[in-house]
Amino acid sequence: MALTAEGKALTQSHQRQQMALASSAQAASRPIWASVLRAQGVWLASQLGLLADCFSRSQELTESYLEAYRSAEGVAPGPIERVPFPVAEMTSVILVGGPYSVKNLIGDGLSGDQALSKGFTKFSGLVSRQVLSGGRLLIADSTANDRQAVGWRRVSDGNPCTFCAMLVTRGPVYKSRETADSIAGKGTRYHAHCGCTAEIVYGEWQPTEAEERMISSYVGAAMTASAVDGVRIQQTVLWRMRAKGHFRDSPAVRGKQ
């Protein structure tokens, strides 16, 4: 976690702000969702405009957070690397997750209303992910050019799935988008409805008690994978963490939901 109590509090506050922004974007997407099929062009323009505004807001919040966080951690002001809104990527994501997905659901036998309702549940998660990518990528790119930083790490929302927990256990090993994606686990990958955020680390990383439990779960699963399968990769480790853990997607937890 952060070196200082103030830095930790700022990271937690930033995470809450980002999740509030994601919820706002999801709520704003609902009224225009009804036109996803009957007026696809109008819907696309409206949804892209909404994503662009929220993507920019995510970066604004993160920029303010980074400035305050660096000050709290006692380091000099560092680079802030804004990320341009990726129009082509956003268009592709919302078309696939929007009208294409709804049409597929109708093709599977659902009524129009059923397809719209089920489709929006999944689509709202994509909205959250795409909006929050603004701040998440800003941190990744800013860290890459910050000579004071050890790296950045993933911070759980307190109720992670097994995949996110695994990435949390790695600590501040990510220095850029490229290094994050070259390390087993795809560090910059965030799933729909994910509440994780990123935090730059200056100095030695000290895991919290919750993070220590995640590390213990990972180490146990990894050791078993090495002994039984002879290889320690996502495919041999994650399912073991999930089976015996208490993560959001673990059987012991899902059975209570």
pLDDT at 1 (0 to 100):
75
pLDDT of 252 over the 90 cut: no
pLDDT digits (tens, 9 = 90+) for 3-49: 899 999 999 999 999 999 999 999 999 999 999 999 999 999 999 99
pLDDT digits (tens, 9 = 90+) for 71-114: 999 999 999 999 999 999 999 999 999 999 999 999 999 999 99
pLDDT of 245 over the 90 cut: no
pLDDT digits (tens, 9 = 90+) for 150-188: 999 999 998 999 999 999 999 998 886 666 555 544 556
Burial of 97 (0-12, 13-18, 19+ CB in 10 A): buried
Helices (H), the chain: 5-33, 40-72, 87-95, 101-107, 112-144, 162-168, 177-182, 209-228, 234-244, 251-254
| Cα separation, 157 vs 154, whole angstroms | 10
In contact, 124 and 131? CB cutoff 8 Å: no
pLDDT at 253 (0 to 100):
75
